[in-house]
Chains A and B, each alone.
Chain A
């Protein structure tokens, strides 16, 4: 069947549903395709992912969103990275930045020269600074400063990227306006039954509680954890990854801001998981992701509330999940986007990113009415790889710890890790080499940040770093440090730039 798709039905609103609706309505413009979205006011949205990664800027740009308007409407702040507290050992902190450390020198990456300097310093030759002093986004984040990256690629000011921290519920509402203005038809109601074609199981329509029937050619399941269509109707199955990522619950509480918003998200390791802290313009989002085998719900809520830095704005809200991935994220004519496709905890702010990758990949493989097997297979290959690579990066955070103060952390350190992570770590340990791949979000600087930040120190370094005379290398390192410090000093405070930008007094 190569007849064109006539109607797409998105089941579920929330961040995934409205990002899909907005993305499809923008990118399918010009094709005679109706887009319907069904959402139920009764079923609340999860809206955990309030922090994003820089790719969100591409999504917003493709939609043609005005950045200042978007930031005003979603109470957004800028984000230069994530601060990890107490992960390696209690009392330690590091930032995973959206940007590289310095520039490669000669044939070797910058961090190799740093590793060599560290090695020499251990033998009493010279000194070495912590690696973060060579990263502009880290030093700007610690100083609470922000300007957008410079356009000139030769400038140090161009060596970073940024994302946002925003209110995901407001973002969904913003995109709802966008999508409805472009013809997406929203229907309020709860799905009570799903109709399938007897001969091949394709979904033909859904029926709402009101009795209204909605038919379609392609269905996007944005119904959240339960996967109303992908699992409920099609029984796609689920790969359970709790052996590697055992946290299965979260509790969330927003609180008042007590200080200017920081341009970064914080993830603090706690006794049975970790707590997020996401500063927005109007409040701070907080939550505790934990493993129910190690802490009770009320205790987790108590810890979270006790450690808030402002007054709580609501009662604690609990969530349950199973980390893992739907065995087929696209099956027959149903594509799962968002939590229905799988769940990876928001430790590296990848929830919204995974929604975005799903939408982009669906558009790249946009099908005809028959949803050919080749389209489904390729989609699932691409998404499986994306999920697995993020999973390994998350597992690294848990595994690479030296904490002795909690059973949970000892357990995480001792439990086996996926083979695909084990060999990456061996490669790093030997000589500080980061395994290379083309697809997948987290690249060399991210891995370097977490390895070093959590005390996984390589035994050696790239022999090519020795191409440089140690004094010369030390000079380049010192110059980089000075240039970073000088550039940060000249930057405005994050809060000042943010206010001026959203109020239209300055342009990005």
Chain B
């Protein structure tokens, strides 16, 4: 099988690195680089670390969370499931009875950031350090160069013509014939700075939001900026690229059924990531159906509905919903199985442990 990647930067080289690594001798990967990689900074979500481990690279600087407006969304876990129920239900109940600390007071990642501390996630589930997680701040051009080296080492070839191929990947970053989402997302997020390993965003980046009607059209499959544009400089864009490319490696969509399945799953993935962008900085007057359902469920009873092909984990949705002012009217009545005093004591103890743990983490 022959795959030709046409494009530039991280879109092109992440695709090449993943496909060359997965294909081995099964496919020939050629890359036609149309322009030098763009400069700038990229944000990667914690899930990117797993890909980097598989590719054998260590790049970027750790990031502990995202700040949209005044609200902090730390990576990693916030609180812990108790008696099978998500933590935020206990917090909602305590808050209704006088608790004043914000939800992120139970995030070790957030506490570490506030104290200028850092440690990687621990694999030991009993340690509070296992609730940590971090994303990455990446220099776009340097990252593309690293991925290029990985791809070429894994057997991808750099070409300057357009060889025959069974599948062509459009990694040009150029928009196609968009389904227009600008009413929901008139602008995109823009990284304005990083402080205490927290990336801060403004929401004034020019954007022509939308996605290609079909990710695969004929023998061309679009990835990254050529597939969709939702202005998610907060890690959403890079994560979508990552999942699109793993789906590409899993399905290698050349036959009609695989193409249909690739298009179906990719459309869902892009839309779920889009929903988060709309929630964070978009127009919420008439949200897309799935987002409206999500907001309705959270508002009604603090439930986070997770669909197929989500980009953001449940914890991110909780923070983002609260940040946008969606406040649950109820908490899960099952949290009341524990007496209020016991819950408050438990929350107090957890907070103290996290505070001490953060204090004991190395500065860095």
Q: Fill in one digit per residue for A355-379: 1 if any B CB lies within 8 Å of its CB, else 0.
A: 0000000011111100010110010
Majority-rule SS of A interface residues = loop
- Report the stretch among A25-33, A93-101, A303-311 that lies at the interface: A25-33
In the assembled complex, how far is the CB of residue A25 from the closest CB belonging to chain B, in whole angstroms? Answer: 12
- Report the stretch among B24-32, B43-51, B99-107 that lies at the interface: B24-32
Q: A360: nearest residue on chain B (CB-CB)?
A: B84
Q: Is the CB of A31 within 8 A of B336?
A: yes
Q: Is the CB of B330 within 8 A of A2?
A: yes
From 390 to 441 in chain A, residues with beta carbon under 8 angstroms from any chain B beta carbon are: 423, 426-427, 429-431, 433, 435-439
Bound-state Cα–Cα, A439 to B306, Å:
10
Q: Is the CB of B337 within 8 A of A467?
A: no
From 312 to 371 in chain A, residues with beta carbon under 8 angstroms from any chain B beta carbon are: 363-368
Q: Fill in one digit per residue for B274-299: 1 if any A CB lies within 8 Å of its CB, else 0.
A: 00000000000000000001001100
In the assembled complex, how far is the CB of residue B14 from the closest CB belonging to chain A, in whole angstroms? Answer: 16
Q: Is the CB of B26 within 8 A of A464?
A: yes
Q: Is the CB of B300 within 8 A of A375?
A: yes
In the assembled complex, how far is the CB of residue A338 from the closest CB belonging to chain B, in whole angstroms? Answer: 22
Q: Is the CB of B332 within 8 A of A366?
A: yes
Q: Known contacts A366-B333, A378-B297: does B255 contact A467 (CB below 8 Å)?
A: no
In the assembled complex, how far is the CB of residue A417 from the closest CB belonging to chain B, in whole angstroms? Answer: 15
Q: Is the CB of B334 within 8 A of A366?
A: yes
In the assembled complex, how far is the CB of residue B295 from the closest CB belonging to chain A, in whole angstroms? Answer: 11
Q: Which residues of A contact B265 (CB under 8 A)?
A: 436
Q: Which residues of B contact A466 (CB under 8 A)?
A: 1, 25-27
Select the residue from B255, B257, B305, B306 with max chain A CB neighbours within 10 A: B257
From 322 to 344 in chain B, residues with beta carbon under 8 angstroms from any chain A beta carbon are: 329-330, 332-334, 336-338
User: Is the interface on chain B under 10, 10 to 19, 20 to 34, or 35 or more residues?
Assistant: 35 or more
Q: Is the CB of A107 within 8 A of B257?
A: no
- Select which of B25, B257, B261, B305 is within 8 A of A467 by beta carbon: B25
Bound-state Cα–Cα, A439 to B26, Å:
32
Q: A463: nearest residue on chain B (CB-CB)?
A: B1
Bound-state Cα–Cα, A374 to B249, Å:
39
Q: Is the CB of B24 within 8 A of A462?
A: no
Q: Is the CB of B258 within 8 A of A427?
A: yes
Q: Fill in one digit per residue for A459-470: 1 if any B CB lies within 8 Å of its CB, else 0.
A: 010111111110
- Select which of B257, B309, B329, B336 is within 8 A of A430 by beta carbon: B257
Q: Is the CB of B22 within 8 A of A467?
A: yes
Q: Is the CB of B22 within 8 A of A464?
A: yes
Q: Which residues of B contact A381 (CB under 8 A)?
A: 293
Q: Known contacts A365-B301, A372-B301: does B333 contact A431 (CB below 8 Å)?
A: no
Q: Which residues of A contact B256 (CB under 8 A)?
A: 426, 430
- Select which of B26, B309, B332, B338 is within 8 A of A465 by beta carbon: B26
Q: Known contacts A375-B301, A423-B260, A464-B252: does B308 contact A437 (CB below 8 Å)?
A: yes
A4 within 8 A of B: yes
- Select which of A106, A374, A463 is within 8 A of B301 by beta carbon: A374
In the assembled complex, how far is the CB of residue A187 from the closest CB belonging to chain B, in whole angstroms? Answer: 25
Interchain Cβ contacts within 8 Å, total number: 100
B71 within 8 A of A: no
From 447 to 484 in chain A, residues with beta carbon under 8 angstroms from any chain B beta carbon are: 460, 462-469
Q: Fill in one digit per residue for B245-268: 1 if any A CB lies within 8 Å of its CB, else 0.
A: 000011110011110110001000
Q: Which residues of A contact B255 (CB under 8 A)?
A: 430-431, 460
Q: Which residues of B contact A234 (CB under 8 A)?
A: none
Q: Which residues of A contact B24 (CB under 8 A)?
A: 106, 467-468
A5 within 8 A of B: yes
Q: B338: nearest residue on chain A (CB-CB)?
A: A30
Bound-state Cα–Cα, A232 to B97, Å:
43
Q: Is the CB of A374 within 8 A of B257?
A: no
Q: Is the CB of B330 within 8 A of A30?
A: no
Q: Is the CB of B1 within 8 A of A427?
A: no
Q: Is the CB of A467 within 8 A of B297?
A: no
Q: A32: nearest residue on chain B (CB-CB)?
A: B336
B303 within 8 A of A: yes
Q: Which residues of B contact A363 (CB under 8 A)?
A: 334
Q: Which residues of B contact A378 (CB under 8 A)?
A: 297, 303, 305
Q: Is the CB of B333 within 8 A of A368?
A: yes
B114 within 8 A of A: no
Q: Is the CB of A464 within 8 A of B338?
A: no
Q: Fill in one digit per residue for B231-246: 1 if any A CB lies within 8 Å of its CB, else 0.
A: 0000000000000000
From 10 to 24 in chain B, residues with beta carbon under 8 angstroms from any chain A beta carbon are: 22-24
Q: Is the CB of A433 within 8 A of B258?
A: yes
Bound-state Cα–Cα, A372 to B267, Å:
32
- Select which of A368, A427, A465 is within 8 A of B330 by beta carbon: A368
Q: Is the CB of B337 within 8 A of A29?
A: yes
- Select which of A2, A27, A30, A435 is within 8 A of B261 by beta carbon: A435
Q: Which residues of B contact A427 (CB under 8 A)?
A: 257-258, 260-261
In the assembled complex, how far is the CB of residue B215 from the closest CB belonging to chain A, in whole angstroms? Answer: 16
Q: Which residues of B contact A374 (CB under 8 A)?
A: 296-297, 300-301
In the assembled complex, how far is the CB of residue B322 from the closest CB belonging to chain A, in whole angstroms? Answer: 18
Q: Known contacts A2-B330, A4-B333, A366-B333: does B301 contact A423 (CB below 8 Å)?
A: no
Bound-state Cα–Cα, A460 to B26, Å:
14
Bound-state Cα–Cα, A365 to B331, Å:
11
Bound-state Cα–Cα, A378 to B301, Å:
11
Q: A430-B256, A469-B25 are in contact. List 12 more A-B contacts (CB 8 A).
A: A30-B337, A107-B250, A364-B303, A366-B334, A375-B301, A378-B305, A426-B257, A427-B257, A430-B258, A460-B255, A463-B26, A464-B249
Ordered nearest first, which 5 A-B pairs have the shortest CB separation?
A: A30-B337, A467-B24, A374-B300, A466-B26, A107-B22
Q: CB within 8 Å of A: which residues of B?
A: 1, 22-27, 249-252, 255-258, 260-261, 265, 293, 296-297, 300-301, 303, 305-309, 329-330, 332-334, 336-338
Offer 13 A-B interface pairs, CB within 8 angstroms, sorted by A.
A4-B333, A30-B336, A31-B336, A363-B334, A381-B293, A427-B260, A436-B308, A463-B1, A463-B26, A464-B23, A464-B249, A467-B23, A468-B24
